[in-house]
Amino acid sequence: MEEINPWQTLESELKYDNNWISVTEHQVINPSGGNGIYGEVHFKNVAIGILPLDENYNTWLVGQYRYPLKAYSWEIPEGGGALDKEPLDGAKRELLEETGMSAKNWQEIQRMHLSNSVSDELSVIYVATDLIQGIAMPEETEQLIVKKLPFEEAYQMVLTGKITDSMSVAAILKAKLMILNGDL
């Protein structure tokens, strides 16, 4: 099977637009030849996640209420970065804002699309090490609880479904594999 686009776009209409996302409805002919619609969410930022790890393999999670889920969520420090800037710059800013920490060492461990059936949102995930504690400066929309815990406990939270955020799950599972392989 060739890697070609089997979709044909007939018409597109912007349905919603704000500073963070836009939603477009496309009139299409689908891969089977039928008429249909396809809704596409375009993100105006890169999603950024940071897994801070100290020399004893402790990490930090950020807890907050997530409005779309109507539920509380434990996550790695996360945020957004401008599409035209280096994701690492956004990662450094987000780690400082949410935890008050900075790091001397940064390693990109994963790039992934968060929901590629309906959106183009790209995520870049880093491990931050050689940490320096400062003062957190969360945004006004963030009411955060920051919790230090052993990395293994965060890993168990993923395995038991207590962490469901996709970037957090991916970061923790990838880091666990890297630790087992001696790459981290």
Q: 3-class DSSP state for residue 155?
A: helix
Instruction: Please tell me whether residues 82 and 35 are part of one structural domain.
Output: no
pLDDT of amino acid 136 = 79
Residue 171 is assigned to a structural domain of this protein: yes
Residue 3 is assigned to a structural domain of this protein: no
CB atoms within 10 A of CB 179: 15
Instruction: Please tell me whether residues 26 and 49 are part of one structural domain.
Output: no
β partners of residue 31? none
What is the Cα–Cα distance from 125 to 118, expressed in whole angstroms? 21
What's this model's pTM, rounded to 2 decimal places? 0.91
What is the Cα–Cα distance from 178 to 184, expressed in whole angstroms? 5
What is the Cα–Cα distance from 62 to 71, expressed in whole angstroms? 14
Instruction: Please tell me whether residues 29 and 69 are part of one structural domain.
Output: no
β partners of residue 110? 125
CATH of the domain at 68: 3.90.79.10
Instruction: Please tell me whether residues 124 and 34 are part of one structural domain.
Output: no
pLDDT of amino acid 159 = 98
Q: Which domain holds residue 72?
A: 45-180
Instruction: Please tell me whether residues 129 and 57 are part of one structural domain.
Output: yes
Going by their DSSP bridges, the two strands 122-133 and 45-52 should be labelled as parallel
Place of tokens 């209420």: 65
Instruction: Please tell me whether residues 113 and 66 are part of one structural domain.
Output: yes
Instruction: Please tell me whether residues 117 and 157 are part of one structural domain.
Output: yes
72 with 65: CB under 8 angstroms?
yes
Instruction: Please tell me whether residues 150 and 131 are part of one structural domain.
Output: yes
Instruction: Please tell me whether residues 139 and 64 are part of one structural domain.
Output: yes
Per-residue pLDDT at 86 exceeds 70: yes
> What's the structural domain count of the chain?
2
pLDDT of amino acid 137 = 77
pLDDT of amino acid 1 = 61
Instruction: Please tell me whether residues 19 and 83 are part of one structural domain.
Output: no
Per-residue pLDDT at 3 exceeds 70: yes
Pick the more confident residue, 137 or 152: 152
pLDDT bin (cut points 50, 70, 90) of residue 94 is very high
Residue 1 is assigned to a structural domain of this protein: no
Per-residue pLDDT at 142 exceeds 70: no
120-137 pLDDT, tens per residue? 999 999 999 999 998 877
**How large is the average pLDDT for residues 137-166?**
91
pLDDT bin (cut points 50, 70, 90) of residue 2 is confident
